[in-house]
Structure 1
Amino acid sequence: MEKPTQKKEKLDTREGSGLYAPQRRMFLRYAGATALATTLLLTTSCDDDDDGMTDPEAVDLGSGDTGILNYAYALEQLEAAFYTEVVARSLSVFSQTEQQIMQDLKGHESIHRDFLKAALGSAAIPDLEVNFSSINFNDKSSILTTARTFEDLGVAAYNGAGQYLENAGFLTLAGKIVSVEARHAAVIRDLITNGTFSDSANNQGLDPAMMPADVLQAASPFIVTKISANNLPK
């Protein structure tokens, strides 16, 4: 099967589009936050943990706060690429309401991706090559099951990595993003089975947290590019 390529696509910002108003407002909020994050990134010192063994063919996420932001950026690239494919290839399998949800998710993840790339500047990792050949984009169940996997993974990734962020500004921004990811996870669960929106929470009412190595391992079937997280904070 031919591997779908990740394309840079523009959001539909026509005033008649359902995405126009909310996505434009969100973009403006993130644009201001990007300026803050870029300033903070320039003042973040490099870690001394750059002595881990790294595959020379792998993309190294880096260390310190930069490494954590690149880690988040990698996951947002994956999610944005997935929903771009869904919107391009699969809208016919969804109802009108569900189509709007898919378009909104694509818009949110694209904004998260672009925001992190701008915040990282020259420190950003390159565009990742993805592989969605295991997903049947003509089958709603296959799409939603994959979406649930990605959204749950995103929430767990932010929850697990947040403790390593040293800059309070970055932690605040990560918290804002993960709250949106959690809403995505909830709506996807409800599309699969109505009323299961909070099923990912444990007995304490908390979502799970995963360490970067475990998250990247879980995401690896969908990412062709080799990624090294050896220098992330531990």
Structure 2
Amino acid sequence: MPTKNSSERDLMEVAEGDIKNLSRRKFLGYIGGASALLMTAAACKKTDTPSNNTGVNLGSGDVGILNYAYTLEQIEAAFYTKVFESPYAGITASESALLGDIRDHEVAHREFFKAALAAGAIISLDLDFSSINFSSRDSVLGTAKAFEDLGISAYNGAGKLLKSADYLLLAGKIVSVEGRHAAYIRDLIMPGSFADGLDANALDMSRSPSQVFAIAGTYVKTKLNYSNLPTS
């Protein structure tokens, strides 16, 4: 049976640990060792240079899918950070604490992908949340629910596109955290509704990258080129 090298073990250890309890220095220290695992794959593509002058190129293969996930984590992290720049009217201490936990998770996910992709990572995106009323609880929670559901469907749809079993495992661990977020947000909106939105088989939906960007693109000002992402 093949054994994992030290970089692969470091990458898995970060995913398996409680990321919330890692200090920033320790977190980035773990990621530093893991970066080499992705840099080899990333070397085959050009980053931040559109392949056909239509936008920032996410790339192809597993690196492209990881940049796709990095894109979504940038959006979510920026959204929750914005929520705390001016908290909505009537936010309770409990809501503030738990939404703060979600923000920290999304920031950690974003930094994980950025550090692990290293030179293969796309640029930080220019985002536009002007359509969201951050002073309104309904607006903030409704948008949070939409983002969490979209992220879950994106990870579900992307899983089959990954070739590396290690990356698939990591994606599964991240999407399970997104599922916790979605359940909490649902319960804030309507107590007891944490399991709503499932299909007849009690499964969450999946979306392709093009379906996801048709929705997420509303908030992304940076033009993206995802034409090289795998489709099967």
Regarding TM over 0.5, the answer is yes
Asked if 1:157 corresponds to 2:173, the answer is: no
Kindly provide the CA deviation profile for residues 72-119 of structure 1, in whole angstroms up to 9, marking residues without a partner as x: 000000000000000111155311100111111110000000000001
Of structures 1 and 2, the one with the larger relative CO (CA 8 A, separation 6+) is: 1
Q: How many angstroms apart in 2 are the aligned matches of 1:22 and 1:62?
A: 27
Aligned to 2:180: 183
Secondary structure class of the residue paired with 1:44: helix
Q: Residue 152 of structure 1: CA displacement? A: 0.3
Task: Work out the CA distance in 1 between the residues paired with 2:198 and 2:29.
Answer: 32
Partner in structure 2 of residue 143 of structure 1: 140
| Partner residue in 2 for 1:224 | 221
Check the 8 A contact 2:55/2:225 in 1, yes or no: yes
For 1:98, the equivalent position in structure 2 comes to 95
Aligned residue type for 2:180? R
In the alignment, what sits opposite 2:104? Answer: 107
- 1:38 counterpart letter in structure 2: S
In the alignment, structure 2 segments of 5+ residues that lack a partner are: 1-17
Aligned to 2:194: 197
* RMSD of aligned residue pairs (Cα, Å): 2.4
Aligned residue pairs total 210
Residue 60 of structure 2 aligns with which residue? 63
Change in Cα spacing, 1:147 to 1:55, as seen in structure 2 (3 Å) is farther
Do the aligned partners of 2:88 and 2:135 also contact (CA within 8 Å) in 1? no
Task: Name the amino acid aligned to 2:102.
Answer: L
The residue identity in structure 1 corresponding to 2:128 is N
Q: CA deviation at 1:169?
A: 1.1
- Name stretches of at least 5 consecutive residues in structure 1 with no aligned partner: 1-20
- TM-score normalised according to structure 1 size: 0.82
For residue 174 of structure 1, give the secondary structure of its aligned residue in structure 2: helix
Question: Of 78, 81, 85, which aligns to 1:84?
Answer: 81
Identical columns (%): 46
Q: Is the Cα contact below 8 Å between 1:64 and 1:232 reproduced in 2?
A: yes
Q: Deviations over 1:119-172 (max 9, x none)?
A: 100010000011111100110000000000100000000000011111111111
Give me the whole-angstrom Cα distance separating, in 2, the residues matched to 1:25 and 1:146.
Answer: 28
Match of 2:7 in 1: none
Relative to structure 1, the CA distance from residue 56 to residue 22 in structure 2 (aligned partners, 3 Å threshold; closer, same or farther) is: closer
| From 71, 78, 97, the counterpart of 1:74 | 71
Question: Structure 1 residues 69 and 170 mapped into 2: Cα distance closer, same or farther (>3 Å)?
Answer: same
Q: Measure, in 2, the Cα distance between the counterparts of 1:30 and 1:151.
A: 24
CA distance in 2, matches of 1:206, 1:30: 32
